Amino acid sequence: MTRLWTILTAAFVFAASLAATQQHQPAKPDHMDHKFDDPARFAKSFDDPARDAWQMPARVIEALQLKPGMKVADIGAGTGYFSTRLARVAGVGVFAVDIEPKMIDYLKQRAKKEGLTNITGVVASAASPNLPEPVDVILVVDTYHHLPNRGSYFRDLKKSLRPGGRIAIVDFRKDAPEGPPVQFRFTPEQIQNEMKQAGYELQASHDFLPRQHFLVFR
């Protein structure tokens, strides 16, 4: 009886210890935290001409169906890969948004060098893109997985959209040969569920990008 009691006591202590350990384990992060504060270094990969083959920027921009007079926000603009291309669409104004001030400084210098006067650099915060006015289209390329608290982020983003405005999300597939760690890659269903909870509905889904999902929400 004494031996049985000892075994039961030990089992209880082990179970309690395991529960306490699990209770104090940190929650699994919902986003990838990464610094992009060296524009010159990241430009080598972000603006590598080889990227065009799989990023297909012209087709992405064509799918956005931009018209003169529209305003576009490029959230996570980085060194300006998409911002500079968007700015070449006739009559379109571009807000290049990034959380890294050095990226915005780099992008402003690039826009000036390339004669693109319709790009406005905006330094974002983790909670908001800090857009100075509502826009027609918000483009989020390879940045969705970096955003913390996406539910509240995109709910608040509604006030930055003009009536009929759209949010286009381009982010890496699970099986892409490069990109963030697999735990920070999302299926289309995961993205749709998060956006639905934030109050959006899927308007279009494009499958032509070989490495990324391309979903458009209203």
pLDDT over threshold 50, residue 21: no
pLDDT over threshold 80, residue 82: yes
Query: pLDDT band at 29, cuts 50/70/90?
Result: low
First to last CA, the chain: 68
pLDDT, tens digit, 9 for 90 and up, residues 170-210: 999 999 998 888 888 999 999 999 999 999 999 999 999 99
* CATH number for position 87: 3.40.50.150
- The Cα 166–Cα 157 span in angstroms is 11
The verdict on residue 24 lying in a domain is: no
Domain that holds residue 117: 34-217
- The token pair that represents 118 in the structure block: 């319709």
The verdict on residue 200 lying in a domain is: yes
Query: pLDDT band at 41, cuts 50/70/90?
Result: confident
Which one is predicted more confidently, 93 or 27? 93
| Mean pLDDT, residues 47-66 taken together | 97
Cβ atoms of 119 and 172 closer than 8 Å: no
Q: pTM to 2 decimals?
A: 0.82
